[in-house]
């Protein structure tokens, strides 16, 4: 009996600790949960239908849900760089993905514009990997059926700070109701006629291939979709969504301040990721010195830059696509 009680108490403590690491905001339409670890979105749920839109992570496919990438998008060549002649190892996805964010601000949970601000500041540990003092704030703010994801990057050091920044939200495309990948489509707000950069080993290769030919939809089963990402540089279509065939999208992402986007939907998997990017992946032939990585953004001492993308939910289409 004592053993059973002890086991139940320990399970309760673990559950409580887990909840302590999550923060939820909601309005009358959406409930959004964010982990303090990495400031990673954990859930975007429509309240009335109880339908989840965010990919929930699965080690068989992809264990993450919506990692934040800073100060690198995916990775640097050889996972390292140099600064002033000294070499540094840079973890894949950067420093934010495993950062211990703290709650900087939280408004009332059920306000229409409910907001959560999480903050990550540089430390002795981060300086071992990235020799630039910084503060990164990730702000999640609701407005009706929209979730605004805002980032504020501040250079708190005395030298010019090079960085890249990206979101990586995954969205559900489940194989339910006898539905397959061929039933889902990317949607684009403009017909696109583009070639795309080839991504291999998470690096941009010195090669482009034909991609879209005046198209505003692309099936997830299309042979043009590679295992790696599909990087679109400054696309004319600024709103990208996920829809069933011949239906309106049930979730869309407005790139807003993010110039580039990487689309990642490996064949055979029940999800896709829409990755808004400031800057982009590193180059396969990129120099080691971070000072010479010309595609990175430069932030002067005490300078702050802000970037926003917006996720929009269509609950009617979501019920049709995601309702069990």
User: 47-65 burial string, b = 16+ CB within 10 Å, else e?
Assistant: eeeebbbbbeeeeeebebb
Taking 50 as the threshold, does the pLDDT of residue 7 lie above it? no
Q: Mind listing the pLDDT tens digit for each residue in 286-299?
A: 999 999 999 999 99
Spatial contact of 182 and 261, defined as CB atoms under 8 Å apart: no
Q: Mind listing the pLDDT tens digit for each residue in 181-227?
A: 999 999 999 999 999 989 999 999 999 999 999 999 999 999 999 98
Q: Using alpha carbons only, how large is the chain's radius of gyration in Å?
A: 20
Taking 60 as the threshold, does the pLDDT of residue 4 lie above it? no
Spatial contact of 242 and 272, defined as CB atoms under 8 Å apart: yes
For residue 227, what pLDDT is reported?
Answer: 86
Range of the domain at 80: 2-322
Taking 60 as the threshold, does the pLDDT of residue 19 lie above it? no
pLDDT band at 275 (very low <50, low <70, confident <90, very high): very high
Pairing label, strands 203-219, 271-278: unpaired
For residue 62, what pLDDT is reported?
Answer: 96
How much is the average pLDDT of 77-87?
98
Spatial contact of 277 and 262, defined as CB atoms under 8 Å apart: yes
Q: Tokens at residue 33, please?
A: 């949960």
Can you give the chain as a three-state secondary structure string? CHHHHHHHHHHHHHHHHHHHCEEEEECCCEEEEEECECCCEEEEEECCCCEECECCCECCCECCCCCCEECCCCCCHHHEEEECCEEEECCCCECHHHCECEEEEECCCCCCCCEEEEEEECCHHHHHHCCCCEEEEEEEEEECCEEEEEEEEEECCCCCEEECEECCCEEECCCCCCCCHHHEEEEEEEEEEEEEEEEECCEEEEEEEEEEEEEEEEECCCCCCCCCCEEECCCCCCEEEEEECCCCCCEEEECCCCCEEEEECCCCCCEEEEEEEECCCCECCCCCEHHHCCCCEEECCCCEEEEEEEEEECHHHHHHHHCC
pLDDT band at 108 (very low <50, low <70, confident <90, very high): low
Taking 80 as the threshold, does the pLDDT of residue 11 lie above it? no
Q: Tokens at residue 181, please?
A: 């990948």
Nearest CA to 134 out of 107, 95, 167 is that of 95
Residues 6 or more apart whose Cβ sits within 8 Å of residue 304: 152, 153, 154, 155
Q: Tokens at residue 145, please?
A: 């059926």
Count of domains observed in the chain: 1
User: What region does 83 belong to: left with phi over 0, alpha with psi -120 to 50, or beta?
Assistant: beta
pLDDT band at 157 (very low <50, low <70, confident <90, very high): very high
d(CA 304, CA 62): 33
Give the CATH number, domain containing residue 7.
Answer: 2.70.98.10
Q: Mind listing the pLDDT tens digit for each residue in 231-241?
A: 999 999 999 99
pLDDT averaged over every residue in the chain = 93
Residues 6 or more apart whose Cβ sits within 8 Å of residue 226: 199
């Amino acid at each position: 009996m004592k053993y059973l009680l002890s086991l139940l108490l320990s399970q309760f403590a673990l559950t409580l600790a887990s909840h302590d690491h999550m923060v939820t905001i909601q309005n009358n339409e959406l409930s959004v949960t964010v982990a303090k670890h990495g400031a990673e979105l954990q859930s975007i749920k429509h309240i009335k239908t109880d339908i989840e839109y965010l990919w929930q992570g699965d080690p068989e496919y992809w264990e993450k849900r919506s990692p934040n990438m800073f100060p690198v998008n995916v990775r640097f060549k050889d996972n390292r760089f140099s600064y002033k002649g000294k070499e540094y190892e840079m973890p894949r996805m950067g420093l934010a993905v495993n950062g211990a964010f703290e709650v900087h601000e939280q408004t009332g949970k059920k306000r229409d514009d409910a907001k959560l601000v999480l903050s990550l500041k540089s430390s002795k540990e981060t300086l071992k990997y990235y020799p630039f003092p910084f503060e990164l704030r990730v702000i999640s703010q609701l407005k009706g059926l929209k979730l605004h994801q805002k980032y504020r990057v501040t250079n708190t050091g005395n030298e010019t700070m090079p960085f890249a920044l990206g979101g990586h939200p995954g969205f559900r495309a489940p194989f339910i109701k006898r539905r397959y990948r061929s039933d889902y489509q990317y949607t684009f707000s403009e017909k696109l006629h583009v070639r795309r950069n080839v991504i291999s080993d998470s690096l941009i290769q010195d090669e482009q291939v034909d991609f879209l030919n005046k198209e505003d939809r692309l099936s997830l089963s299309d042979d043009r979709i590679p295992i790696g990402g599909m990087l679109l540089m400054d696309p004319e279509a600024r709103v990208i969504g996920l829809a069933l065939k011949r239906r309106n999208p049930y979730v869309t992402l407005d790139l807003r301040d993010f110039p580039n986007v990487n689309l990642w939907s490996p064949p055979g998997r029940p999800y896709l990721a829409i990755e808004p990017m400031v800057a982009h992946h590193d180059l396969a032939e990129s120099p080691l010195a971070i000072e010479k990585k010309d595609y990175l953004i430069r932030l002067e001492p005490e300078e702050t830059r802000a970037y926003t993308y917006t996720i929009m939910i269509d609950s009617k289409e979501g019920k049709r696509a995601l309702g069990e």
